[in-house]
Chains A and B, each alone.
Chain A
Amino acid sequence: DQQVKQNSPSLSVQEGRISILNCDYTNSMFDYFLWYKKYPAEGPTFLISISSIKDKNEDGRFTVFLNKSAKHLSLHIVPSQPGDSAVYFCAASAIKAAGNKLTFGGGTRVLVKP
């Protein structure tokens, strides 16, 4: 039972354009969402997060949007840079879950072409 899904396994975008990554979840108890970026042979690196009381959070080139009614969130990267080429994971946690354990999506591999 996959509670967090990233339906696009890969995304190719031109440098300077916008990258849009999508994530859907099924567990209505999730109330905190995070995006991580991962390079090969490295651990995930935190990018940006959003609480369920908000619908948007912005940090530099990264913006996360949350649509609770649709159980959907997206990550916008603009402008995309070659260094953004990596695998991006969406993660979620539930308010009553002990210890804030994260449930991850399967990841989206982004390739930014120069």
Chain B
Amino acid sequence: NAGVMQNPRHLVRRRGQEARLRCSPMKGHSHVYWYRQLPEEGLKFMVYLQKENIIDESGMPKERFSAEFPKEGPSILRIQQVVRGDSAAYFCASSPREGRGDIQYFGAGTRLSVL
């Protein structure tokens, strides 16, 4: 029973390029969350998605960032025109359903480095 899968594990981009981060939730999970962790800080919520729907994007920057979770395939976090400040670890988590008490299971993360 595979856990949350994220790829790539490491991603290097130059300023101005695009970064695409992928997340496949655990089998049977239809809720996906993206978090960002800056060095020496805690994780910060970015966006919550269900299949084909963005439920809460209150933590995501208004510009350059977008997320999707299509009917088929993984969830994608897309960062356009990356800047050095985007360098961070991006974690995806999934849960089986919405509701209090549902544990979020995390992937190993994608470490983005912007040169």
Contacts and interface: CB of A to CB of B under 8 A. Distances in A.
Interface of A: 4, 6, 31-32, 34, 36, 41-46, 49, 51, 89, 91, 93, 95, 97-107
Interface string B26-61: 000001010100001111110010000001100100
A46 B56 contact: no
Given A43-B108, A104-B42, A104-B43, A98 B91 contact: no
A36 B91 CA distance: 13
B72 interface: no
Closest 4 CB pairs of A and B: A43-B106, A104-B42, A99-B48, A104-B43
Nearest to A97: B56
Interface residues of B, number: 31
Contact of B55 (A99, A102, A107): A99
A101 to B, nearest CB: 5
B103 A43 contact: no
Contacts of A45: 106
7 contacts: A6-B42, A89-B42, A99-B33, A101-B48, A101-B56, A104-B35, A104-B44
